[in-house]
A and B are shown apart, each in its own frame.
Chain A
Amino acid sequence: MNSYIMYGIISILLVISYWKDQKKTKIALKKAWKSFENILPQFLGVIMLVGILLSVLNTQMISQIIGAQSGWVGVIISAIIGAITLIPGFVAFPTAAMLLKGGAGYMQIAAFISTLMMVGVVTAPIEIKYFGKRITIMRNVLAFLFSFFVAYIIGKVVGTI
Protein backbone atom coordinates (compact mmCIF):
# COMPACT_ATOMS: atom_id res chain seq x y z
CA MET A 1 0.00 0.00 0.00
CA ASN A 2 2.67 2.42 1.11
CA SER A 3 4.88 1.53 -1.79
CA TYR A 4 2.13 2.17 -4.34
CA ILE A 5 1.76 5.68 -2.95
CA MET A 6 5.52 6.17 -3.05
CA TYR A 7 5.84 4.92 -6.61
CA GLY A 8 2.90 7.12 -7.60
CA ILE A 9 4.40 10.26 -6.07
CA ILE A 10 7.82 9.55 -7.56
CA SER A 11 6.33 9.01 -11.03
CA ILE A 12 4.52 12.35 -10.85
CA LEU A 13 7.66 14.12 -9.65
CA LEU A 14 9.73 12.51 -12.41
CA VAL A 15 7.26 13.61 -15.08
CA ILE A 16 7.26 17.18 -13.77
CA SER A 17 11.04 17.17 -13.55
CA TYR A 18 11.42 15.79 -17.08
CA TRP A 19 8.99 18.34 -18.43
CA LYS A 20 10.90 21.19 -16.79
CA ASP A 21 14.42 20.07 -17.57
CA GLN A 22 15.35 16.86 -19.39
CA LYS A 23 19.05 17.14 -18.71
CA LYS A 24 18.68 17.67 -14.98
CA THR A 25 16.29 14.73 -14.76
CA LYS A 26 18.78 12.48 -16.49
CA ILE A 27 21.49 13.57 -14.07
CA ALA A 28 19.11 12.90 -11.16
CA LEU A 29 18.43 9.37 -12.40
CA LYS A 30 22.12 8.73 -12.93
CA LYS A 31 22.87 9.91 -9.40
CA ALA A 32 20.05 7.76 -8.05
CA TRP A 33 21.42 4.69 -9.80
CA LYS A 34 24.98 5.37 -8.67
CA SER A 35 24.04 5.65 -5.01
CA PHE A 36 21.72 2.65 -5.25
CA GLU A 37 24.40 0.50 -6.84
CA ASN A 38 26.86 1.65 -4.20
CA ILE A 39 24.80 0.33 -1.30
CA LEU A 40 23.20 -2.69 -3.03
CA PRO A 41 25.75 -5.29 -1.84
CA GLN A 42 25.07 -4.30 1.77
CA PHE A 43 21.32 -4.43 1.28
CA LEU A 44 21.46 -7.88 -0.23
CA GLY A 45 23.64 -9.12 2.60
CA VAL A 46 21.38 -7.63 5.24
CA ILE A 47 18.13 -9.08 3.93
CA MET A 48 19.75 -12.50 3.67
CA LEU A 49 20.93 -12.19 7.26
CA VAL A 50 17.43 -11.15 8.36
CA GLY A 51 15.97 -14.17 6.61
CA ILE A 52 18.41 -16.51 8.33
CA LEU A 53 17.93 -14.92 11.77
CA LEU A 54 14.15 -14.88 11.59
CA SER A 55 13.98 -18.49 10.49
CA VAL A 56 16.11 -19.57 13.43
CA LEU A 57 14.45 -17.23 15.95
CA ASN A 58 10.79 -17.77 15.13
CA THR A 59 7.91 -15.80 16.63
CA GLN A 60 6.85 -18.68 18.81
CA MET A 61 10.26 -18.77 20.40
CA ILE A 62 10.28 -15.01 20.89
CA SER A 63 6.83 -15.09 22.46
CA GLN A 64 7.83 -17.85 24.82
CA ILE A 65 10.80 -15.93 26.12
CA ILE A 66 8.99 -12.61 26.54
CA GLY A 67 5.75 -14.12 27.70
CA ALA A 68 7.17 -16.44 30.30
CA GLN A 69 9.54 -14.04 32.03
CA SER A 70 8.87 -10.95 34.01
CA GLY A 71 10.92 -8.24 35.66
CA TRP A 72 14.16 -6.75 34.41
CA VAL A 73 15.55 -10.06 33.17
CA GLY A 74 12.57 -10.27 30.83
CA VAL A 75 13.10 -6.65 29.83
CA ILE A 76 16.76 -7.28 29.00
CA ILE A 77 15.91 -10.37 26.96
CA SER A 78 13.15 -8.54 25.08
CA ALA A 79 15.46 -5.61 24.43
CA ILE A 80 18.14 -7.90 23.00
CA ILE A 81 15.61 -9.74 20.82
CA GLY A 82 14.28 -6.39 19.57
CA ALA A 83 17.78 -5.17 18.82
CA ILE A 84 18.85 -8.16 16.73
CA THR A 85 15.62 -8.81 14.86
CA LEU A 86 14.22 -6.73 12.08
CA ILE A 87 10.48 -7.21 11.95
CA PRO A 88 8.36 -4.68 10.05
CA GLY A 89 6.04 -2.63 12.28
CA PHE A 90 2.98 -4.08 10.60
CA VAL A 91 3.96 -7.46 11.97
CA ALA A 92 5.57 -6.28 15.21
CA PHE A 93 2.62 -4.34 16.64
CA PRO A 94 -0.02 -7.05 16.27
CA THR A 95 2.49 -9.61 17.58
CA ALA A 96 3.16 -7.37 20.59
CA ALA A 97 -0.58 -7.02 21.16
CA MET A 98 -0.94 -10.79 21.08
CA LEU A 99 1.89 -11.23 23.57
CA LEU A 100 0.27 -8.70 25.91
CA LYS A 101 -2.97 -10.67 25.83
CA GLY A 102 -0.92 -13.77 26.52
CA GLY A 103 0.32 -12.31 29.77
CA ALA A 104 3.52 -10.49 28.87
CA GLY A 105 4.29 -7.33 30.82
CA TYR A 106 4.05 -3.85 29.35
CA MET A 107 7.63 -3.15 30.32
CA GLN A 108 8.96 -6.11 28.33
CA ILE A 109 6.83 -5.25 25.33
CA ALA A 110 7.89 -1.61 25.45
CA ALA A 111 11.55 -2.62 25.58
CA PHE A 112 11.04 -4.97 22.65
CA ILE A 113 9.20 -2.40 20.51
CA SER A 114 11.68 0.34 21.34
CA THR A 115 14.86 -1.58 20.51
CA LEU A 116 13.18 -3.15 17.50
CA MET A 117 12.66 0.29 16.02
CA MET A 118 15.72 2.19 17.25
CA VAL A 119 18.49 -0.39 17.40
CA GLY A 120 19.63 -2.21 14.30
CA VAL A 121 22.32 -4.81 14.78
CA VAL A 122 21.80 -6.45 11.40
CA THR A 123 21.54 -3.13 9.57
CA ALA A 124 24.74 -1.87 11.22
CA PRO A 125 26.88 -2.65 8.13
CA ILE A 126 24.73 -0.22 6.12
CA GLU A 127 24.82 2.38 8.86
CA ILE A 128 28.61 2.09 9.16
CA LYS A 129 28.97 2.72 5.45
CA TYR A 130 27.31 6.11 5.89
CA PHE A 131 28.23 7.16 9.42
CA GLY A 132 31.38 5.25 10.25
CA LYS A 133 31.92 2.74 13.03
CA ARG A 134 32.10 5.09 15.99
CA ILE A 135 28.82 6.91 15.44
CA THR A 136 27.02 3.69 14.48
CA ILE A 137 28.12 1.80 17.58
CA MET A 138 27.45 4.71 19.91
CA ARG A 139 24.04 5.47 18.39
CA ASN A 140 22.96 1.87 18.78
CA VAL A 141 24.31 1.60 22.32
CA LEU A 142 22.61 4.83 23.40
CA ALA A 143 19.34 3.80 21.76
CA PHE A 144 19.57 0.42 23.47
CA LEU A 145 20.06 2.01 26.91
CA PHE A 146 17.36 4.58 26.21
CA SER A 147 14.93 1.74 25.49
CA PHE A 148 15.18 0.65 29.13
CA PHE A 149 14.13 4.12 30.20
CA VAL A 150 11.21 3.98 27.75
CA ALA A 151 10.27 0.56 29.11
CA TYR A 152 10.40 1.82 32.68
CA ILE A 153 8.18 4.84 31.95
CA ILE A 154 5.66 2.80 29.98
CA GLY A 155 5.64 0.23 32.75
CA LYS A 156 4.84 2.98 35.25
CA VAL A 157 2.24 4.76 33.14
CA VAL A 158 0.47 1.94 31.37
CA GLY A 159 1.01 -1.23 33.34
CA THR A 160 2.00 -2.33 36.76
CA ILE A 161 5.56 -3.37 37.42
Chain B
Amino acid sequence: MNWIKKYKFFIFTILMMMILFFINRNMGIKAIYITGFSFKEMLGVIPPIFILLGLLDVWVPKETMMKYMGDKSGIKGIILSIVLGSAAAGPLYGAFPIAAVFMKKGVKFSNILIFIGAWSTTKIPMFLFEISSLGFKFAITRLIVDVPGIILIAYILCSIVDEKQIKSIYKNAQSM
Protein backbone atom coordinates (compact mmCIF):
# COMPACT_ATOMS: atom_id res chain seq x y z
CA MET B 1 0.00 0.00 0.00
CA ASN B 2 2.99 2.21 0.63
CA TRP B 3 3.81 1.83 -3.03
CA ILE B 4 0.48 3.26 -4.11
CA LYS B 5 0.86 6.22 -1.77
CA LYS B 6 4.30 6.95 -3.15
CA TYR B 7 3.15 6.79 -6.76
CA LYS B 8 -0.29 8.34 -6.37
CA PHE B 9 0.58 11.45 -8.38
CA PHE B 10 2.00 9.31 -11.20
CA ILE B 11 -1.06 7.04 -11.15
CA PHE B 12 -3.26 10.13 -11.30
CA THR B 13 -1.42 11.36 -14.43
CA ILE B 14 -1.81 7.93 -16.04
CA LEU B 15 -5.56 8.20 -15.48
CA MET B 16 -5.52 11.72 -16.98
CA MET B 17 -3.65 10.39 -19.99
CA MET B 18 -6.26 7.66 -20.46
CA ILE B 19 -9.09 10.17 -20.23
CA LEU B 20 -7.32 12.34 -22.81
CA PHE B 21 -7.13 9.31 -25.12
CA PHE B 22 -10.86 8.80 -24.84
CA ILE B 23 -11.63 12.45 -25.56
CA ASN B 24 -9.16 12.94 -28.37
CA ARG B 25 -7.02 10.12 -29.70
CA ASN B 26 -4.63 12.37 -31.61
CA MET B 27 -3.98 14.52 -28.58
CA GLY B 28 -3.37 11.39 -26.54
CA ILE B 29 -0.81 10.12 -29.02
CA LYS B 30 0.86 13.52 -29.06
CA ALA B 31 0.92 13.59 -25.25
CA ILE B 32 2.67 10.22 -25.15
CA TYR B 33 5.14 11.37 -27.77
CA ILE B 34 5.97 14.52 -25.77
CA THR B 35 6.23 12.51 -22.57
CA GLY B 36 8.68 10.19 -24.30
CA PHE B 37 10.73 13.18 -25.39
CA SER B 38 10.75 14.62 -21.85
CA PHE B 39 11.65 11.22 -20.47
CA LYS B 40 14.65 11.06 -22.78
CA GLU B 41 15.65 14.54 -21.72
CA MET B 42 15.34 13.51 -18.10
CA LEU B 43 17.47 10.41 -18.64
CA GLY B 44 20.13 12.60 -20.21
CA VAL B 45 20.43 14.89 -17.23
CA ILE B 46 19.14 13.35 -14.03
CA PRO B 47 21.23 10.18 -13.53
CA PRO B 48 24.58 12.01 -13.91
CA ILE B 49 23.40 14.72 -11.52
CA PHE B 50 22.54 12.16 -8.86
CA ILE B 51 25.85 10.33 -9.27
CA LEU B 52 27.67 13.65 -9.05
CA LEU B 53 25.75 14.39 -5.88
CA GLY B 54 26.67 11.03 -4.40
CA LEU B 55 30.33 11.69 -5.13
CA LEU B 56 30.08 15.22 -3.76
CA ASP B 57 28.50 13.86 -0.62
CA VAL B 58 31.30 11.40 0.13
CA TRP B 59 34.31 13.38 -1.10
CA VAL B 60 33.74 17.01 -0.21
CA PRO B 61 33.85 17.63 3.54
CA LYS B 62 31.14 19.71 5.12
CA GLU B 63 33.73 22.17 6.42
CA THR B 64 34.89 23.02 2.90
CA MET B 65 31.38 23.75 1.67
CA MET B 66 30.60 25.76 4.78
CA LYS B 67 33.73 27.81 4.35
CA TYR B 68 32.86 28.81 0.79
CA MET B 69 29.07 28.93 0.92
CA GLY B 70 28.08 28.74 4.59
CA ASP B 71 26.76 31.33 7.01
CA LYS B 72 29.97 33.33 7.10
CA SER B 73 30.77 33.15 3.39
CA GLY B 74 29.46 36.68 2.64
CA ILE B 75 29.75 38.08 -0.85
CA LYS B 76 32.07 35.25 -1.90
CA GLY B 77 29.28 32.77 -1.18
CA ILE B 78 26.79 34.79 -3.21
CA ILE B 79 29.10 34.99 -6.23
CA LEU B 80 29.93 31.30 -6.02
CA SER B 81 26.22 30.41 -5.85
CA ILE B 82 25.50 32.44 -8.98
CA VAL B 83 28.47 30.96 -10.85
CA LEU B 84 27.57 27.37 -9.90
CA GLY B 85 23.93 27.85 -10.83
CA SER B 86 24.78 29.54 -14.12
CA ALA B 87 27.33 26.96 -15.21
CA ALA B 88 24.87 24.11 -14.88
CA ALA B 89 22.92 22.54 -17.69
CA GLY B 90 19.48 21.02 -17.49
CA PRO B 91 15.97 21.91 -16.44
CA LEU B 92 15.11 23.51 -13.10
CA TYR B 93 14.04 20.27 -11.47
CA GLY B 94 17.66 19.13 -11.65
CA ALA B 95 18.63 21.89 -9.24
CA PHE B 96 16.47 20.70 -6.33
CA PRO B 97 18.40 17.53 -5.48
CA ILE B 98 21.60 19.57 -5.57
CA ALA B 99 20.02 22.03 -3.16
CA ALA B 100 19.33 19.12 -0.80
CA VAL B 101 23.00 18.10 -0.78
CA PHE B 102 23.97 21.74 -0.23
CA MET B 103 21.70 21.74 2.82
CA LYS B 104 23.39 18.61 4.13
CA LYS B 105 26.73 20.34 3.71
CA GLY B 106 25.70 23.39 5.68
CA VAL B 107 25.35 25.89 2.83
CA LYS B 108 23.58 29.09 3.85
CA PHE B 109 19.88 29.12 2.95
CA SER B 110 20.02 32.40 1.04
CA ASN B 111 22.90 31.04 -1.05
CA ILE B 112 20.88 27.94 -1.89
CA LEU B 113 18.00 30.13 -3.05
CA ILE B 114 20.39 32.25 -5.13
CA PHE B 115 21.75 29.05 -6.67
CA ILE B 116 18.21 27.94 -7.56
CA GLY B 117 17.48 31.35 -9.07
CA ALA B 118 20.66 31.37 -11.13
CA TRP B 119 20.02 27.83 -12.33
CA SER B 120 16.52 28.79 -13.41
CA THR B 121 17.39 31.78 -15.49
CA THR B 122 21.01 32.85 -16.00
CA LYS B 123 22.47 29.68 -17.44
CA ILE B 124 25.55 30.31 -19.55
CA PRO B 125 24.88 27.72 -22.31
CA MET B 126 21.33 29.07 -22.61
CA PHE B 127 22.58 32.65 -22.64
CA LEU B 128 24.59 32.04 -25.81
CA PHE B 129 21.59 30.40 -27.36
CA GLU B 130 19.38 33.30 -26.33
CA ILE B 131 21.75 35.79 -28.00
CA SER B 132 21.63 33.87 -31.25
CA SER B 133 17.84 33.70 -31.31
CA LEU B 134 16.63 36.90 -29.66
CA GLY B 135 19.60 39.19 -30.06
CA PHE B 136 22.36 40.47 -27.82
CA LYS B 137 20.39 43.44 -26.50
CA PHE B 138 17.48 41.27 -25.35
CA ALA B 139 19.71 38.65 -23.71
CA ILE B 140 22.06 41.07 -21.95
CA THR B 141 19.20 43.25 -20.65
CA ARG B 142 17.52 40.17 -19.23
CA LEU B 143 20.75 39.04 -17.60
CA ILE B 144 21.44 42.45 -16.05
CA VAL B 145 17.92 42.64 -14.61
CA ASP B 146 17.89 38.99 -13.53
CA VAL B 147 21.03 38.87 -11.39
CA PRO B 148 19.94 41.46 -8.80
CA GLY B 149 16.39 40.09 -9.08
CA ILE B 150 17.52 36.59 -8.13
CA ILE B 151 19.41 37.91 -5.11
CA LEU B 152 16.46 40.06 -4.07
CA ILE B 153 13.99 37.16 -4.35
CA ALA B 154 16.34 34.97 -2.30
CA TYR B 155 16.52 37.52 0.51
CA ILE B 156 12.78 38.17 0.50
CA LEU B 157 12.19 34.41 0.79
CA CYS B 158 14.68 34.22 3.64
CA SER B 159 12.94 37.02 5.47
CA ILE B 160 9.49 35.42 5.31
CA VAL B 161 10.53 32.10 6.82
CA ASP B 162 11.67 31.79 10.39
CA GLU B 163 14.63 29.90 11.82
CA LYS B 164 12.41 26.95 12.75
CA GLN B 165 11.07 26.48 9.23
CA ILE B 166 14.55 26.63 7.71
CA LYS B 167 15.71 24.05 10.26
CA SER B 168 12.90 21.69 9.30
CA ILE B 169 13.70 22.11 5.59
CA TYR B 170 17.35 21.25 6.34
CA LYS B 171 16.26 18.29 8.45
CA ASN B 172 14.06 17.05 5.62
CA ALA B 173 17.05 17.25 3.25
CA GLN B 174 18.94 14.78 5.45
CA SER B 175 16.45 12.10 4.55
CA MET B 176 16.39 12.79 0.80
A residues whose Cβ falls under 8 Å from a Cβ of B: 2-3, 6-7, 9-10, 13-14, 17, 24-25, 27-33, 35-36, 38-39, 41-52, 54-56, 58, 86, 88-90, 93-94, 96-97, 100, 106, 109-110, 113-114, 117-118, 120, 123, 125-127, 129-132, 134-135, 138-139, 142-143, 146, 149-150, 153-154, 157-158
Contact = CB atoms under 8 A, between A and B. Distances in A.
Nearest to A2: B89
B157 to A, nearest CB: 6
Best-surrounded residue of A13, A51, A100, A139 (most CB of chain B within 10 A): A51
Contact of B52 (A2, A13, A149, A153): A13
Interface in B118-140: 120-121, 123, 125-126, 129-130, 132-135, 137-138
Contacts of B54: 27-33, 35
A138 B28 contact: no
Contact of B141 (A93, A96, A158): A158
Interface of B: 6-7, 9-10, 12-14, 16-17, 20, 27-28, 30-36, 38-39, 41-55, 57-59, 89-93, 96-97, 99-100, 113, 116-117, 120-121, 123, 125-126, 129-130, 132-135, 137-138, 141-142, 145-146, 149, 152-153, 156-157, 160-161, 165, 168-169, 172-173, 176
